[in-house]
A = this chain, B = another copy of it.
């Protein structure tokens, strides 16, 4: 049957076990298998392609990744500029600040009595524990940091950059916020008030609390996407970081800018498309919206990020020893210039 041949290009090659194998080698060979193992391998290939071309790489971080021990992975990505723009939930940034201030998350269990934990002042995040009182140290730091700022609206990017500068002096360890500051990587936090950062700022008496300029964030990220030669996106979890990065292409389109959708896309998710939410939706669905380019390289890795992310980044780091990346322009001065709207 002649027609059949076009479907039969490459056989599945059963993955061999090699004692002592390195991660990059194993991940590469997973590319010859199937299901999520193959997708994980493809994710490394796509990210590598982003790094080899002059692609602006957006990274969306959701889920309790810092408590789960992914902080150093992010620091690595920032320091080595494997990513150019970070969009995060507030919680991950708060937990990062907590650790940067010298405190810890603890290995716990998801099978403890939570009312007992409450009694001793321990907050549980699945199988991770944190000491409530120690969180208050970070709360207070954020509150007092904001007190020192002049009274005007701040984009979350500017707020976090200033905090990165401040923490670089005060902090006891390198973290996400400090490493991003040093590397010149902007961090956005579209739901900043929906976290202990927001809570800390809400402890201020009277109406003159800190004001975030969220629409400024939208404009800036659209500008970064619109000016890029090409954009790539990497999502760990869904939530606001994924949607916020996805919508840069929609915003730029409505601003009559010449964009075609993100060209490279990776997501590591435990969600599924059939619930209809944005967190679990496919990149194909995103193509209908123009968020992902019609011609694009993309893959979804259905996996807990605590497994997939260290593997992917270790494999990538192994490969990237050979390359030097050309960095995209991340300057943010022109972002308030919207010349035109789609209905005009």
Find out whether the CB atom of A37 lies under 8 angstroms from the CB atom of B209.
no
Q: How far is the CA of A247 from the CA of B139 in the complex (A)?
A: 13
Give the number of copies in the complex: 4
Find out whether the CB atom of A199 lies under 8 angstroms from the CB atom of B8.
no
CB distance from A201 to the nearest CB of B (A): 5
A190 interface residue (CB < 8 Å to B): yes
The number of chain A residues touching the other chain, given as a range, is: 35 or more
Find out whether the CB atom of B76 lies under 8 angstroms from the CB atom of A128.
no
Q: Which of B117, B153, B338 lies in contact with A205, CB distance below 8 A?
A: B338
Find out whether the CB atom of B240 lies under 8 angstroms from the CB atom of A26.
no
A327 interface residue (CB < 8 Å to B): no
Find out whether the CB atom of B308 lies under 8 angstroms from the CB atom of A307.
yes
| Contact A106-B10, Cβ < 8 Å, known A15-B72, A19-B318, A276-B125 | yes
Q: How far is the CA of A34 from the CA of B105 in the complex (A)?
A: 10
| Contact A91-B278, Cβ < 8 Å, known A34-B128, A307-B307 | yes
Q: How far is the CA of A136 from the CA of B20 in the complex (A)?
A: 39
Find out whether the CB atom of B205 lies under 8 angstroms from the CB atom of A17.
no
Which of A47-69 touch B at CB < 8 Å?
62-64, 66-69
